[in-house]
Amino acid sequence: MQLRFLIISGPHSKPAVVDFVAGLNVIYGGSNTGKSHILQVIDFVLGSSRPLEPIIEQAEYDLAHLGIVFDDGSEKTLIRALKGGDIRIIDGLFRGRPDQKQGVSVSARHGANISLSKILLVQLGAADRRVQTNASGATRELSYRDLERFSIVNETKIQEGTSPVLTGQYVSKTAETSVFKYLLTGVDDSALDMAKPDANRPLRQAAQLELLDQQIRELDREIAEADQDHEELQQLDLSLDSELAQSFSVQEEAERDYRSLTTQRRQLRREHEQVHDRMDEIDTLQARFGLLEQHYSSDQERLASAIEAGTLFALEEGQVCPICGAEAKNHRPEFACDGNVDEIVAAAKAELAELGRRAAELKLTRDGLTEEREELAERARELLPELESLQGDILREVPSVQTVRTQTNTVIARKLTVRKILDLVQRRDRLNEQRGQLGVVPGYDSSTIVAAQSLDGGVLNALCEVIEAELQSWEFPDARRVFFDLPKMDISVAGKPRSSNGKGVMALLHGAFSIGLMRFCRARMRAHPGFLVLDSVFVTYKDPDGLEDVAVKNSALKDRAFAAFAGLPDTLQLIVLDNVDVPEWLASQPRCIHFTGQPTQGRSGLFPMPS
């Protein structure tokens, strides 16, 4: 699979066109001329979900076209809107702007039923392959994006000290290691879905490590966010204990008077409520006793009337009997009338005397209640000024109490924060102790153990020999022995890890690794895409970083490297994007494009200058 052209077109603008050939392609020139944008657009058309950088030169353009030739000789043109969305595939190397009926639209997402990723994987012979995602043996489907990381290396990645195999995301480390293994060996992890591997000690150890490392990583993140030194935190924790004890003492002293005043206020309020409750109770009783007094008065009037009537009857003769109604001449009490007026009068007088006694007692009770209510009302009036005075005293104490409480709460909050971080450190230390008890070699993690179980030492050695030969063709200093470091998933040269060099040398070694991997895979018919885009591999010649970079800059390595690049077979494709000048013998070749950055000299940049 090789690229033949990249076109960025607009409905009313002259297209920006870059052509590619088999073997070496070089695009060089100053900064801000569009070199890195070429890499981004290629990546975008091949299915990247990351939006393109909205550069001003691209404002009048809307489509990106990428011409591709596959290993079987078929030619396709991929077209994608610069705003994103699906990708249209047109047969042949089509350079024009398509109409709605041309080609077929496919998804940029691998998981879709019809996607560019699946189509490209079929072309690479990698369809339906599986990769391991964790130490427990879980797998997922291989995506073209997994492979493209090894064919498109941007300026940031090439200069980093991180592994050229890994993205730096811990959660995807095992999967990325498995993709690398598949590239080297051609064997994927489909077998894990058929029968899970035996729970032997290395894999059990890897699963335990994966869990421990995940927890340790989360704790490290929280500790790093706190941005506090552990020893300083321990000292601060001790000093906060002393400060807190002093603060509690000051608060206790400040709150003594406040608590006394609030206690008095609470007691007075309770007494005030009790006084009013008793006054309400007296009012209720007085109302009831008033009704009773009216009842007594009514009964007394009735009895007085009965006594008066009986007395008058006894004084007058010849009257009709008030009991049976018989006239005096016919009155026979022994047969027809039970009434005895004298007895009735006597009974009425006795009852009237009893009512008088009760009425006198009732009056005494009501008088007592009236006197009690007056005393209670007087006490209620006395309580109000006392409560108001206490409230004023309490309000005067409140500011100082609040100040002391705020100071104490501040110390407590700092104490809790410090303890939280110290607890995190203690938890991390305990997890690290558990990790150490597994007997793992320092620097190893779960993905390293998985890699050690799946990456054959002979295959890695063969890859390193290809990388070593590449470096030697550049006459790279001390390129005597290239070794692949499993814990770092990176190469070391002459015993020195790649990450221990300046960014310029790291970029060169990353470039050698990527070219060596492409040579290795294609020679063995592995699933490498077959093209490689390197951005700023010769950064050391523009921006040296350290003694190693200076030593390389003062050598002829760049010219020898370009000569080695030019010797690539036509079955491979290398696209170099860089700021450095190229050798004269290369500058005149059609495969070399110079972005001058000047509107009046040659080609100024990726996009045509506006007319």
Say what the pLDDT of residue 324 is: 61
What's this model's pTM, rounded to 2 decimal places? 0.65
Number of Cβ within 10 Å of residue 82's Cβ equals: 19
Q: Is the pLDDT of residue 103 over 80?
A: yes
Distance between CA atoms of residues 426 and 403, nearest Å: 34
Q: What is the DSSP string of 433-446?
A: HHHHHTTPPTT--H
Task: Give the tens place of pLDDT for each residue, 496-533.
Answer: 999 999 999 999 999 999 999 999 999 999 999 999 99
Distance between CA atoms of residues 307 and 313, nearest Å: 10
* Residues whose CB is less than 8 angstroms from the CB of residue 533 and which lie 6 or more positions away in sequence, other chains included: 39, 42, 151, 152, 153, 575, 577
Phi, psi of 552, rounded to the nearest 5 degrees: -70, -40
Task: Give the tens place of pLDDT for each residue, 261-288.
Answer: 888 889 999 999 999 999 999 999 989 9
Q: Binning pLDDT at 50, 70 and 90, where does residue 68 land?
A: very high
Task: Give the tens place of pLDDT for each residue, 111-142.
Answer: 899 999 999 999 999 999 999 887 667 889 99
How do strand 573-578 and strand 531-535 relate by DSSP bridges?
Answer: parallel
Domain 230-437, CATH among 1.10.287, 3.40.50, 1.10.1510, 2.40.50: 1.10.287
How do strand 87-91 and strand 75-81 relate by DSSP bridges?
Answer: antiparallel
Q: Is the pLDDT of residue 38 over 90?
A: yes
Q: Where are the domains of the chain?
A: 230-437
Say what the pLDDT of residue 320 is: 61
Measured in Å, how far apart are the chain's first and last C-alpha atoms? 36
Select the more confidently predicted residue: 437 or 494: 494
Number of Cβ within 10 Å of residue 508's Cβ equals: 28
Task: Give the tens place of pLDDT for each residue, 207-234.
Answer: 666 666 677 778 777 777 777 777 777 7
Q: Is the pLDDT of residue 328 over 60?
A: no
Average pLDDT value for residue range 480-498: 89
Q: Is the pLDDT of residue 334 over 60?
A: no
Question: What is the length of the chain?
Answer: 611
Say what the pLDDT of residue 336 is: 47
| 3-state secondary structure (DSSP) of residue 553 | helix
Average pLDDT value for residue range 6-29: 95
Asked whether 116 and 78 are in contact (CB, 8 A), the reply is yes
Q: Is the dihedral of CA 172, 174, 179, 180 positive or negative?
A: positive
| 3-state secondary structure (DSSP) of residue 350 | helix
Average pLDDT value for residue range 177-188: 91
Q: Is 62 exposed, middle or buried (0-12, 13-18, 19+ CB in 10 A)?
A: middle
Give start and end residues of each alpha helix (H) in 160-200. Answer: 173-185, 191-194
Task: Give the tens place of pLDDT for each residue, 163-172.
Answer: 999 988 877 8
